[in-house]
Amino acid sequence: MLFWIITAALAALIALLLGLALWRGRSGAEPSAAYDLRVYRDQLRDVERDLARGVLAPDEAERLRLEISRRVLEADRAVQTGHAAARAPRGLTLTAALAAAVVLGGSFWLYQRLGAPGYPDLPLALRIDMAQDLYDNRPTQDAAEETAAAARGPLPEPDPQFATLMERLRAVVAQRPNDLEGLALLARNEANMGNYRAAWEAQRRLVALKADAASAEDHAQLAELMVVAAGGVVTAEAEGALGRALALDPGNGLARYYVGLMMAQNGRGDRAFRIWDGLLRESTADAPWVPQIMANIPALAWLAGEADYTPPAPRAGAALDLAGALQLPPDAREAALRPGLEALNARLAQQGGTAQDWAQLLAALRLLGEDARADAVLGEAETLFAQRPEDLALIRAANAGTPPGPAQPALPGPGAAEMEAAGAMTEAERQEMIQGMVAGLEDRLLAEGGSAGEWARLISSLGILGETARARAAVDAASAALAADPAALEQIRAAARAAGVDE
């Protein structure tokens, strides 16, 4: 309130002084012409005195009288004009006073509407205290999960066959609560179904059973499952798992990413920037956290005082995720592909690479619409691989064809690790579960088709099960479906070789 009293008093005083100045003008000040007029009159008296004393001749005195009289007339005229202009016109004075009132009143009104009356200053120490308060008063894991579950709504119904298999897996793990492989399988599949709470509880049990043998990645995966269950909030419970992961491996990328996210969520964008900038410089382009960091680090750089920050390009990874990029909105593809694309381009220019590398680069450039660069890359690749027809065919196919589209929705099919983890079940239960999952994937691919990765997964699974005839049939079906894609065919042939059905 004191602020408003002082502000109003100063505004009123300034307005009063301006008003008086306009109203009175310079009426109290003598114009210079009045002073000149007195001097000229004194000079006329001096001329008469000098003439009487015989100092001046009559004709000289007459000439001086005329000159001084002319100056007297001019000075008198200036005095009259100055008096008329000394006081401002009444209408102009009122208009100026009204304008001043409007400006002052409008300023107060705008500040009330757009400003923040009563809002205190935020010095650095206070901002740090506020961030600490956010950090100390984060929601608990249970509260965050409750909020996230309400926001997500009900989970979609899983495939009935897979749901039955999951029930059996849960029952087996309940009977054998100390089986590490069973817990690992349960955690992955609960997460696949969206049961994040059950997933992180299984992972926590797994970590507890491993005790000192638990790796940094085990702890980081536990933290990630907890963060996902909490709707993206890094709670104190998840932070504990992150701390244990970093104590075992200070360079663990997943843990460092979520620690940076925690800092950003709790008002410490400056710390988040430094963590993520360091992680970005050490990451490969295919690291799962790179797209999220690239999308958010410019804003964090501004908060950290880095006005001219340019994100570093991550090192080239194994391959660009073109299929994943196609599932993103167009404005997000740039952030997802650009770091890996530029890193791969630099590596090919300096060190060279395989035909698969060149094909990846071409497909990414076409996807981003950089046709001029793609044409130049194609010309260089055709020169390099001119004597290798198969490699050249792969490169030309990537250049001419459409990049692989998003994967077809698949049942949570088995991978090799999942099959090994099924050892927690009896032999009959394990075989039934695996056979059911493989059969579901096989039926969908034969009916609807799918990506090369899905076909390769099916072939590998059938090979592990010893179903060589079905695996060969899957190879034939995949080869027919993907005949126009040399890169996909090579992936199918590699899966067939691994499964022992490449004859």
First vs last Cα of the chain: how many Å apart?
90
Range with lowest mean pLDDT among 60-69, 248-257, 268-277: 60-69
Number of compact structural domains in the chain: 3
pTM: 0.48
Q: Does residue 395 sit in the same domain as residue 426?
A: no
Q: What per-residue confidence (pLDDT) applies to 491?
A: 73
Q: Does residue 100 sit in the same domain as residue 21?
A: yes
Q: Does residue 420 sit in the same domain as residue 360?
A: no
Q: Does residue 481 sit in the same domain as residue 396?
A: no
Q: How deeply is 260 buried, as exposed, middle or buried, from its count of CB atoms within 10 A (0-12, 13-18, 19+)?
A: buried
User: 111, 141, 174: which is the final residue of a domain?
Assistant: 111
Q: Shortest CA distance to 69 belongs to which of 99, 97, 45?
A: 45
Q: Shortest CA distance to 381 belongs to which of 402, 346, 356?
A: 356
Residue 248 maps to a domain: no
Q: What per-residue confidence (pLDDT) applies to 114?
A: 66
pLDDT in tens, 91-136: 666 676 677 777 777 776 777 666 666 666 555 566 677 777 877 8
Q: Is pLDDT at 274 greater than 70 in this prediction?
A: yes
Q: Does residue 396 sit in the same domain as residue 463?
A: no
Q: What per-residue confidence (pLDDT) applies to 260?
A: 93
Residue 373 maps to a domain: yes
**Residue ranges in 308-406 assigned as alpha helix (H):** 322-326, 330-351, 355-367, 371-384, 389-400
Q: Does residue 25 sit in the same domain as residue 68?
A: yes
Q: Does residue 374 sit in the same domain as residue 436?
A: no
Residue 148 maps to a domain: no
Q: Is pLDDT at 173 greater than 80 in this prediction?
A: yes
Residue 379 maps to a domain: yes
Question: What is the 8-class DSSP label of residue 55?
Answer: S
Q: How far apart are CA 105 and CA 21, in angstroms?
A: 21
What is the sign of the dihedral through the CA atoms of 283, 287, 288 and 294?
positive
Q: Does residue 401 sit in the same domain as residue 338?
A: yes
Residue 247 maps to a domain: no
User: 388, 406, 424: which is the final residue of a domain?
Assistant: 406
Q: Is pLDDT at 401 greater than 90 in this prediction?
A: no
- The two tokens of residue 366 are 């076409």
pLDDT in tens, 46-102: 878 877 777 778 888 788 888 888 887 887 777 676 655 555 556 666 676 677 777
Q: Does residue 400 sit in the same domain as residue 431?
A: no
Q: Does residue 433 sit in the same domain as residue 384?
A: no
Q: Does residue 391 sit in the same domain as residue 426?
A: no
User: 85, 111, 137: which is the final residue of a domain?
Assistant: 111
- Residues contacting residue 296 through CB under 8 Å, at least 6 positions apart: 264, 276
Residue 230 maps to a domain: no
Residue-range definition of the domain harbouring residue 360? 316-406
Q: Shortest CA distance to 356 belongs to which of 317, 324, 306, 300?
A: 317
